């Protein structure tokens, strides 16, 4: 699942291209008369919601794009915000697309860069057509598409009031942003202590404790801080927590610097892979000798709080 570094990479990309563009139409093949889950009623997976969504977004201009936790917020000049959560396999791509009637699907224009033709980018389920206020002369120029690719179709696309966005069920109560300058070690400790009985790995991944961290980056930061993922928060010495706080920032920033992690489906807005998967120390490294200097441990995988955890049993200390 895309985490803070992947969502940041996408948001930074969108912020470079979307502001001032106007939405001229929206298409989806996800909208259904009867939704399979109650919470889909307030997303474009509901036909009724989607019809209203179209009315409210068509004609609106994009002001800017922000991230909150793992959510992408596209703020419009009409007072609404399009909220997108990529979930397991979602990613957003920006480019020239053409609707192909024969196959009932949107395909990248034949002249588009090769990365858009990557099989992982084929699962187009939502398309926003965008027009520039200053189109360059020439046929077709000035029209672009923002497409949502999502092979597993777990992603969420909805519309909320910009003013009350942070009070909606999508964002209310979400924990602090770990990379914000004012997020101090004391804040970090206070947040973690709210779930002092939980294993540290589970707490790091809980969106109400700290925003944006998931499976990959929690494994990597615990490895770096030499803490076993099952350690109980209340038993971890202060010095180790300090190391974890530093490791958290380091690992997340490294993820952003490498353009995110594309071990799974994630692609940036140009359809390109991130590179963080080439720099894992522990995630998906089961059976590999630990890369920490002078450590001879072998990476193992186990289940912590219902999720898989990868760690080195030799240098990652268990506090229980």
Catalytic entry in 2, 5, 178, 199: 2
As measured in angstroms, the least distance from the Cβ of 290 to Zn ion is 3
Q: Which of 13, 143, 154 is nearest to 72 (CA)?
A: 13
- Terminal-residue alpha carbon distance, the chain: 29
Please state, in angstroms and rounded to a whole number, the distance separating the CA atoms of residues 55 and 97. 22
Own/partner pairs, 297-305, CB within 8 angstroms, 24+ separation: 302/230, 304/199, 304/201, 304/202, 304/229, 304/230, 305/198, 305/199, 305/201, 305/202, 305/205
For Zn ion, the closer of residues 17 and 295 by Cβ is: 295
As measured in angstroms, the least distance from the Cβ of 230 to Zn ion is 16
Catalytic entry in 45, 67, 68, 70: 70
For Zn ion, the closer of residues 162 and 284 by Cβ is: 284
Catalytic entry in 47, 307, 313, 317: 307
273 is an active site residue: no
For Zn ion, the closer of residues 157 and 290 by Cβ is: 290
For Zn ion, the closer of residues 273 and 310 by Cβ is: 310
3 is an active site residue: yes
Own/partner pairs, 311-314, CB within 8 angstroms, 24+ separation: 311/219, 311/222, 311/223, 311/228, 311/229, 311/282, 312/223, 312/282, 313/228, 314/290
Which residues, in sequence order, are bridge partners of residue 158?
Answer: 83
As measured in angstroms, the least distance from the Cβ of 297 to Zn ion is 4
70 is an active site residue: yes
Question: Which secondary-structure segment (H or E) carries 50?
Answer: helix 47-57
- Binding region for Zn ion (CB under 5 A): 290, 292, 295, 297, 312, 314-315
Please state, in angstroms and rounded to a whole number, the distance separating the CA atoms of residues 212 and 218. 10
**Residues sharing a CB contact under 8 Å with residue 37, sequence separation 6 or more, in sequence order:** none
313 is an active site residue: no
For Zn ion, the closer of residues 229 and 260 by Cβ is: 229
For Zn ion, the closer of residues 54 and 317 by Cβ is: 317
As measured in angstroms, the least distance from the Cβ of 288 to Zn ion is 10
As measured in angstroms, the least distance from the Cβ of 292 to Zn ion is 4
Measured CA to CA in angstroms, residue 25 lies from 22, 53, 191, 300 at distances of: 9, 11, 42, 49
What residues act catalytically?
Answer: 2-3, 70, 307
């Amino acid at each position: 699942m895309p985490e803070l570094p992947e969502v940041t990479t996408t948001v930074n990309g969108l912020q470079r291209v979307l502001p001032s563009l106007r939405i001229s139409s929206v298409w989806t093949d996800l909208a259904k008369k009867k939704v399979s889950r109650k919470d889909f009623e307030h997303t474009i997976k509901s036909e009724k919601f989607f019809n209203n969504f179209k009315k409210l977004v068509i004609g609106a201009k994009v002001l800017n794009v922000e991230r909150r936790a793992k959510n992408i917020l596209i703020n419009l000049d009409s007072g609404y915000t399009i909220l997108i959560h990529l979930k397991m396999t979602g990613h957003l791509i920006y480019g020239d697309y053409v609707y192909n009637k024969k196959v009932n699907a949107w395909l990248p224009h034949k002249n588009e860069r090769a990365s858009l033709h990557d099989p992982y980018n084929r699962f187009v389920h939502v398309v926003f057509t965008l027009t520039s206020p200053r189109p360059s002369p020439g046929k077709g120029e000035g029209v672009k598409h923002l497409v949502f690719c999502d092979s597993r179709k777990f992603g969420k696309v909805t519309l909320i009031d910009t003013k009350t966005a942070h009070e909606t069920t999508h964002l209310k109560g979400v924990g602090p942003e770990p990379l914000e300058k004012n997020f101090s070690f004391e804040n970090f400790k206070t947040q973690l202590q709210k779930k002092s009985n939980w294993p540290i790995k589970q707490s790091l991944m809980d969106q109400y404790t700290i925003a944006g961290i998931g499976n990959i980056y929690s494994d990597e930061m615990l490895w770096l801080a030499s803490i076993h993922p099952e350690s109980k928060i209340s038993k971890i010495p202060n010095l180790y927590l300090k190391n974890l706080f530093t490791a958290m920032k380091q690992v997340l920033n490294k993820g952003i610097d490498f353009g995110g992690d594309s071990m799974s489906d994630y692609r940036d807005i140009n359809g390109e892979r991130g590179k963080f998967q080439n720099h894992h120390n522990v995630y998906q490294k089961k059976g590999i000798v630990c890369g920490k200097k002078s450590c001879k441990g072998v990476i193992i995988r186990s289940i912590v709080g219902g999720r898989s955890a990868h760690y080195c049993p030799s240098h990652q200390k268990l506090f229980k």
